[in-house]
Structure 1
Amino acid sequence: MMDIETLDLHQERLQRVAALLLGSGARRVLDLGCGTGTLLQYLLREPQFERLVGLELSGELLAQAKMRFETLSADFRSRLELVCGSYVDPPGTWPTSMPRPWSRPSSMSPQRRFPGWSAPSLPACVLACWC
């Protein structure tokens, strides 16, 4: 269980990440390891983000994320997709609006692993990794 100080720090970090993404001009965000979807919840408040995808390996955490968003209006739900899987072994149901830029070796740098995310063909697209 989180104490109040830890919770405040966590909320502060989420707000900071959301502000950085908002300031970047990003329209699409892929949240690797989205957990229960807390960052995605912050981002959904902003109409700038046209497409939000959360990828989570833990089925239990993903179920919690789905519960978090089940009461959203259709407008909000249409901008959000939650996917169970690993970025190392992408799921076959990977969203078509997101690139599949990874390669198998896990020791690669993020720039080499996700080259398509910095390509000019993907304007205003930011990869957000939350640890």
Structure 2
Amino acid sequence: MSAPSAELLVLGLAAILQAVQIGLAAWSMNRDGLAAWNASPRDSTPAFSPLTGRLRRAVDNHFEALAFFTIAVVLVQFTGSNGALTATCAWAYLIARILYVPAYALGWVPWRSVIFGIGFVATMTMILAAIL
């Protein structure tokens, strides 16, 4: 078996990051005394602490960003567009997504948006590199 491309490796690491984010949000909910709600069918939504709310929104945001990044990686892989540019963009995406978690959780304004933008531009650059 050969080693995965940088882009595929980063995609796998981004999926692990998503799982870690889900765990952090769940930990924060449990810390807020919402363990029973967290294990329930969640028919209603309780009031979350600011930290829990931010962690949950960061999870949702990464699901959205991860969808675009997955498309970018698939396009790069299937078109054989792998190279220094796409590998650099993939790592930039992952670093941005890692930094995004504390940026969102701690309310770093305007840095949260700047960090998001770096990851988004990196992802769009990968897509353009694959289709142009």
**TM-score, with structure 1 as normaliser:** 0.25
The structure with the larger Rg is 2
Higher-RCO chain (CA-CA 8 Å, sequence separation at least 6): 2
Q: In proportion to residue count, which structure has more helix? A: 2
**TM-score, with structure 2 as normaliser:** 0.25
Q: In proportion to residue count, which structure has more strand? A: 1
